[in-house]
Each structure stands twice: as structure tokens, then as C-alpha cells.
Amino acid sequence: MAKKSGTQLERFIMASVHQEVWIGLDVHKTSWHVAIFRADGQVCTFTTTASPDQFVGQLLSWALNIKRVVYEAGPTGFVLALACRKAGIKVGVIAPSRAPWPVTRGAKTDRLDCIKLAEFAAKEMFPRYIAIPTIEEESIRSLQRHRFHLVDKIRKVKSRIKGLLLEFGIPEPKGLAHWSGESVKELDQMQLQPGANETLHSHLRELKWLLGEMKGVEASLEQLVKESELGRRLKYLRSIPGVGHIVSLAFITEVFRPERFNRADELTSCLGLSPIVAQSGEGKSKASLRQVGQSRLRSLLVEAAWIWKRHDPGAETFYRLILGRTGCTAKAISALARKLAIVMWRIAVEMRPYQYSVA
């Protein structure tokens, strides 16, 4: 329930029935701070429990002319946004990095934050809102991101095993660079000093468990994709050389509805592959990538771009062109990764196989 003087809040609601209002929220796990900003500049704030259905029901009972409900993206996800959308209430979720907060520090409280969000929304100061995925899209994306987390954990366990061998001056088994089955078996048969021996075998048990979890997650992902419309899109994306199961699945789950992008630069900006140009006075302009979006997908696209250029003459020509202009390998491969993302976007929208190019 809303926590504020009932009479004061009720008076504000009654006076706002015939006016446009914008609602800003500062959301937390157990409570939300809410600001109702009126067209005449008047504002009322209150706190309420973190219950999307209860909050939406309260808004509907007030019968206000709500122009938009706005809150920042965070660990609470999109449950509130989906509840508002289901009730026919216009809602916007803001990326914290895109909110136009003051450059200099000032007072910052949950109450002030929600007021600012409502005021910015009323003045149309948010250039773009986050696309809100459906429950199904977010569920598949969560499993795909969990797979990434498992990959990171496996990499860390392998690093700890190698570090342990180095610490005690034990040569690595042959084939451990690629973690072959024989090298892992040899590790399991090693007998070190008490303590170090238990550490090694604990790491090996953890590695075995993580690999089993990885296999189960990948099987679940494969099944979910087969049962959804993503299957056809993935088939076409995999026709691009260098784009395999992992890259295509990561792309389609992070982008989810590719048709929501109107232009290629909207997609590349979302992925953090659009160069940001900085230039002042007569100085030479400089461009750099703005590290936003899903960093793992960006890394996968760069890795796929290296393979793409080896198999497609057109991609190789483009890479050489950018390399000749900049003299920087990192810039050239980033540009090629950006081009690859655009190609994948077009194929996913048009639902067609990849066509090789010669220029």
C-alpha cells in the first residue's frame, strides 16, 4: 500500500483527474518511491511496496490521464513494465547510462530520483527507451546468459588448476593447452602433497560438474529454440561463415526482435559497435567505440569476424580497406564486426540464407 498522508495524496489525485500526469519510480527489491508529476509542474511523492500488480491496480483505480510511467532498468527486470503494458498504461524503461543527470554532484535520494525521472519524461528529455522483451524472450535470454556465466566459471577453474601446477613446479600434462581427455585423466591420477592433492582434485570435481551443467544448459537451449520461431532465423544466420551455434544464438537472444530496429546504426549503437566521433576546433577528429550493450556478444562478433574474412572475399576486401586507412588491426576488425552484425540483422529480418560477395 502507498505510504503517505492519505488525505494529501487523495487531494492531489482528485485535483489531477483532468490533467496529464507522468509517473517516475525509483524501484528497489522491497519498496518503490513514486512521483506523480502534473502538467502544471506540481508533484506528489509517496512510497509503496514492490508489487507490480498491486501498483498497477492502484493506478487504474485513480483513473488518471497517465501519459507514461518511467523507471530505470536494473535487477528488478521488466515485470513492472509488462504489468503496465498489459493494463494499457504507457511505460518506458530507461538505461541508467542514458539518463540526462547533471554533470556536477548534488543531493541524491530516492525521492529526488523519481521526481527527476517523471519531470524528464514530461519534458521528453529521454531520447530512447529500452525495448521491453516478453516473458518468453527474457526467459530464453536468461538461460543463454547463464551459459556465458558457466563458460566464465569453467575458464576460472582451469586457470586455478594451471596455477596450482605452476605453484608447485609440476609440468603440465601433454595436451592440457586444449584440455584433452587424456590430459584431464592424467591430472586426475596425479598424487601431490596432502592439502595440495585435495585442492587439485576438488578443482577437478568442480570442473567435471560445471561441464555437466554446461551440457545440460546447451541441450535445454537447443530444445527451446526448436520449439520457438527462433529456429528458422538461427538456420539462416548459421549460413554465414564464422557464425556458428553459439554466435547466432547469442545474437538472436540479445537482439530478440530484430525487426524493431529501423536502421543499421540503431542496431550497432545498441551493441556498442558504433564509433563515437570527438572533435573540437581545428583538431583532428577521433573515433572510439562506446562500450555499451552486451559485451560478450560484442566479443563473439569480433571473433566471428576473423573467420568471416578468411572465407568471404568481400569481407577480406573490406577489412584490408579499413586496415589501409587506419593502420590499426583492432579498428579494422571492429569495423568488420560491425558490418557482420548488420549482415546478421538483415538476414534475421529477411529470413534468407547468406550470399557470398566478391567486393
Could you give the C-alpha distances from 188 to 56, 93, 151, 173, 205, in angstroms and in order?
57, 50, 21, 11, 9
CA distance 309 to 315: 5
Provide the mean pLDDT of the chain: 89
Q: Tell me, what's the pLDDT at 3?
A: 59
Q: Tell me, what's the pLDDT at 108?
A: 83
Please write the tens of the pLDDT for every residue from 113-166.
999 999 999 999 888 898 999 998 999 999 999 999 999 999 999 999 999 999
Please write the tens of the pLDDT for every residue from 315-344.
999 999 999 998 999 999 999 999 999 999
Q: Tell me, what's the pLDDT at 4?
A: 59
Instruction: With beta carbons less than 8 A apart as the criterion, state whether 21 and 37 touch.
Output: yes
CA distance 139 to 136: 5
Query: For residue 277, what pLDDT band results from cuts at 50, 70 and 90?
Result: low
Kindly tell me if the per-residue pLDDT of 287 is higher than 80. Answer: no
Q: Which residues contact 13 (CB under 8 A, 6 or more apart)?
A: 36, 62, 64
Kindly tell me if the per-residue pLDDT of 7 is higher than 90. Answer: no
- Tally the residues of the chain: 359
Please write the tens of the pLDDT for every residue from 59-93.
999 989 999 999 999 999 999 999 999 999 999 99
The secondary structure of 7-66 as a DSSP string is: HHHHHHHHHTTTSEEEEEEEE-SSEEEEEEEETTS-EEEEEEES-HHHHHHHHHHHT-EE
Q: Tell me, what's the pLDDT at 83?
A: 95
Please write the tens of the pLDDT for every residue from 195-232.
999 999 999 999 999 999 999 999 999 888 887 778 88
Averaged pLDDT for residues 272-280 = 70
Q: Tell me, what's the pLDDT at 359?
A: 45
Kindly tell me if the per-residue pLDDT of 289 is higher than 80. Answer: no
Q: Tell me, what's the pLDDT at 284?
A: 58
Please write the tens of the pLDDT for every residue from 97-128.
777 777 667 778 999 999 999 999 999 988 88
Instruction: Give the pTM.
Output: 0.83
Top pLDDT among 96 and 347 is at 347
Cell numbers 518511467: residue: 70
Q: Which residues contact 322 (CB under 8 A, 6 or more apart)?
A: 331, 332, 335, 336
